[in-house]
Chain A
Amino acid sequence: MKNATPLLARGAALAALLAASASVAHAQTELSLWYHGAGSANAEEALVNQLVEEFNASQSDWTVVIETFPQLAYNDAVGAAALAGELPDILDVDGPVMPNWAWAGYMQPLGIDEALLADYLPGTIGRWGGEIYSVGLWDAAVAMTTRRSTLEAYGIRIPTLDEPWTGQEFTSALMTIRDSGDFEFPLDLGMAWRGEWYPYAFSPLLQSFGGDIIDRSTYQTADGVLNGDAAIAFGEWWQMLFEENLAPGTSQDAADRDVGLLNGTYAISWNGNWAALPVVEAFGDDALFLPAPDFGNGPTIGGASWQFGVSATSEHPEGARAFIEFALQDRWFAAFSDGTGLIPPTSSAAADTANYAPGGPLEVFYGLSEAQALVRPVTPGYIVQARIFEGALADIANGADVIDALDAAVDDIEDDIQANNGYGH
């Protein structure tokens, strides 16, 4: 105990000294920024740091201080910070989660000139209650990933954006590949990726049948939408995929999901553009990224990825806005796209990228995003509805009665909407 007191005193003195020097060094106003990409596998984290540095150097009013979190812990950290009143000035938010945060009072409208965002991909702009709350530096897209040689070997037509596979054409193509016995499964849906992947990747298929997770005209009911005739047709088709051994089910190994297409376990993989570069490296010109099939109501894929917004408690929204406007430049879009493989939000930025420029290996994804992307239901209840939808799809894949599973999901969703007084719509 004797030694503790001087040590403590010295520590306190040191802290005071540091605090004093910090306040001298930063005459500018500090803005805090939270980011979800700590420990990301690609260049994303380094690029965000570079973005912050260049912004700090480009003007003298603001200093952005970045703090990064692992993605899995990020949303919980924001929730806890909001309860404690410790939100940062600038928030990084996943597109479909944004309405929840705006409704819960974590965020304020961006207040950015809408003309600035005129030619952006639709999935990169986050709107809630008629206002723009968030904007993304990239979007993501999903495609039927396969090889030209595979399709040609079985005489399957190669679909285009203008003429995608019909539902029937797609199913019979899968049957043909299965009957050849050359693959363990013809189709890999990514059932190993539980969580947001299910609503992100599979609700567009439901929408193509003519159903949806929720009635988007009111956002108050899912009855007749998630359990209507179109949804039941989707559910029966979905269950058939697993009953007929066209796709591996919920117990799929995550490792198989990652390499199954590359090592020939699966013929076609329903996968995102972030997984596209290894496919191009492995198959070269043979790699194909095909649009979603059209089950009658047009082909659809999910839109929206991570975006920037301003927290509700920020004392300097104009500074936060200045930072976000600084980030919205084609050169940043191109840098992030080249570093991470994600889709740049504007066609002019796409032209500057290695992968999305005309003739680039992933160019097709830009077209997919532009033509097929539909954002997930824009409602604060989405985060709950996504979990309920995920549960229903897993149950149906595992053999549950389709109508009962969809009815139960509808009841759960409506109970939740009621418990939240309609989620402010």
Chain B
Amino acid sequence: MASRLTQSNRTGWLMALPGVALIATFIILPFFLAFAFSLTNQRLASPNPTEYVGFANYSDLLGLAIFTLEPERDDAGQVLRDEDGAIEYPRLRNFTRNNPDFPHLQGKREWFGWQSGEDRVVVLASDVVFMKALVNTFFFVAVVAPVQAGLALVLALLINQRLRAINVFRAIYFMPVVVSIVVVSLLWQFIYSPGNGLLNNILDWFSFGLIAPRDWLGDTGTALPSIMAMSIWQGVGFHMVIWLSGLQTISPTLYEAAHIEGASKWQTFRFITWPGLRNTAVLIIIVITMQAFALFAQIDVMTGGGPLDSTQVLVFQAVERGYQRQDISGGSTISVLLFLIVLTISLIQRYLTREKH
């Protein structure tokens, strides 16, 4: 193998050279630079010298602590309550800001908490926004990857028929993929517009005014699901085409045989189509997962990470830090973490979908 690759294939290497050179310059080299920057305090523009800081950037992002807040008590030891009867606690900031008794809490903020008897337990994070972005990104991938892949398969099955003008449907489903994601995001912003947006109008009309207009992108509960729906719609055509190519590699003789044997539609799908799509499925799941982790443009155009960080995601945070806040080292650190996450998940997916012999 090695000899054939290196010796008798000079033209091949020559033709690969421009591509390899570009990938090396713009993808491989920046990746190593990002890893190097994540160990320093590199700024975008600064007269201060860059210094090696070890893994400080990582601990600034990933630091967690659990802390139990005890209620305020009066001199007799009674728990103090405000006029609504809620237990009063000391302000968390008294412990997290320059408090020599709690050095491990320095600079941390409340991520979430719960009630435990009279005490309040809070989980503190060094970087709450990053933690929210991490959770949102995983949630986004967990929903988008299966739904988009499934929907794309349904569409592919639907258009894999000999009908008149089937190419028109193929073109229609594929169209959102060709339009720039920024344009799509702007259009969907109008669709989701509060009050008189298209979606609100349609819901109002179909429900005879029962469904009140919502502020889709301005509500913490609906903002991320709204972006998910739009992302699935935008990306589904691309994966439909990949499914379609997979479908068309399955030999028609198998279907004929199944037909003669009297297999039902479901049996045909279960025992011929699905096994025939195995490699396509592996490819699609891995590609969608990677694309979903790279979510950025929709967030940037439609919500900017708001409201209340409910649509913060990792890539948006990496760009926000690296460029808007001029903290290249912080942005690089997020990129490296994202790389490790995607790599791990891809390896797991590869392992789970391996050929078993």
Contacts and interface: CB of A to CB of B under 8 A. Distances in A.
Contact of B215 (A251, A383, A416, A424): A251
Contact of A420 (B46, B193, B309): B46
A249 B45 contact: no
B331 to A, nearest CB: 13
Contacts of A408: 109, 128
A interface SS class: helix
B48 interface: yes
B190 A253 contact: yes
Contacts of B324: 383-384, 387
A394 interface: yes
A23 to B, nearest CB: 33
B259 interface: no
Contact of B306 (A248, A395, A415): A395
B194 interface: yes
A79 B193 contact: no
6 contacts: A104-B47, A106-B45, A250-B307, A384-B325, A387-B324, A395-B307
Interface string A100-129: 110111100000000000000000000000
Interface in A318-354: none
A400 interface: yes
Interface string B177-207: 0000000000001100111000000000000
Nearest to A400: B308
Contacts of B216: 251
B107 A415 contact: yes
B308 A419 contact: no
B93 interface: yes
A398 B109 contact: no
B107 A411 contact: yes
B297 to A, nearest CB: 14
Contacts of B107: 411, 415
Contacts, number: 73
Contacts of A421: 48
Interface of A: 76, 79, 82-83, 100-101, 103-106, 184, 194, 248-251, 253, 255, 383-384, 387, 394-395, 398-400, 407-408, 411, 415-416, 419-421, 424
B55 to A, nearest CB: 16
Nearest to B192: A251
A6 to B, nearest CB: 22
Nearest to A78: B45
A303 B206 CA distance: 50
A398 B326 contact: no
Given A253-B194, A395-B308, A407-B93, 6 more contacts: A194-B304, A251-B193, A253-B193, A394-B306, A398-B308, A419-B327
B308 A399 contact: yes
B44 interface: yes
A413 to B, nearest CB: 11
A419 B306 contact: no
A366 B1 CA distance: 78
B43 interface: yes
Nearest to B60: A415
A310 to B, nearest CB: 18
Given A384-B325, A387-B324, A395-B306, A79 B41 contact: no
B218 A398 contact: yes
Contacts of A398: 218, 220, 306-308
A249 B48 CA distance: 39
Interface in B298-350: 304, 306-309, 320, 323-327
Contacts of B190: 253, 255
B10 interface: no
A251 B45 contact: no
A94 to B, nearest CB: 15
- In the A-B complex, the 7 residue pairs with the smallest Cβ-Cβ separation, listed nearest first, are A251-B218, A398-B307, A104-B45, A384-B325, A253-B193, A398-B308, A251-B217
Contacts of B48: 420-421
A411 B109 CA distance: 10
B97 interface: yes
A138 B144 CA distance: 49
Contacts of A76: 323
A183 to B, nearest CB: 13
Contacts of B307: 250-251, 394-395, 398-399
A420 B328 CA distance: 12
A250 B218 contact: yes
B306 A387 contact: no
A94 B93 CA distance: 36
Interface in B9-61: 41, 43-48
A35 to B, nearest CB: 20
Interface string B96-107: 010000000001
Given A79-B44, A384-B326, A249 B97 contact: no
A82 B218 CA distance: 39
A184 B195 contact: yes
Nearest to B48: A421
A178 to B, nearest CB: 16
A250 B302 CA distance: 11
Contacts of A104: 45-47
Q: Most chain-A Cβ atoms within 10 A of its Cβ — which of B45, B128, B306, B324?
A: B45
A104 B189 CA distance: 37
B97 A411 contact: yes
A30 B190 CA distance: 48
Nearest to B309: A395
A104 B48 CA distance: 9
A179 to B, nearest CB: 19
A250 B46 CA distance: 32
Contacts of B46: 104, 420
B163 to A, nearest CB: 40
A251 B193 CA distance: 8
B218 A387 contact: no
Interface in B89-120: 93, 97, 107, 109
A250 B304 CA distance: 10
A368 to B, nearest CB: 29
A383 B326 contact: yes
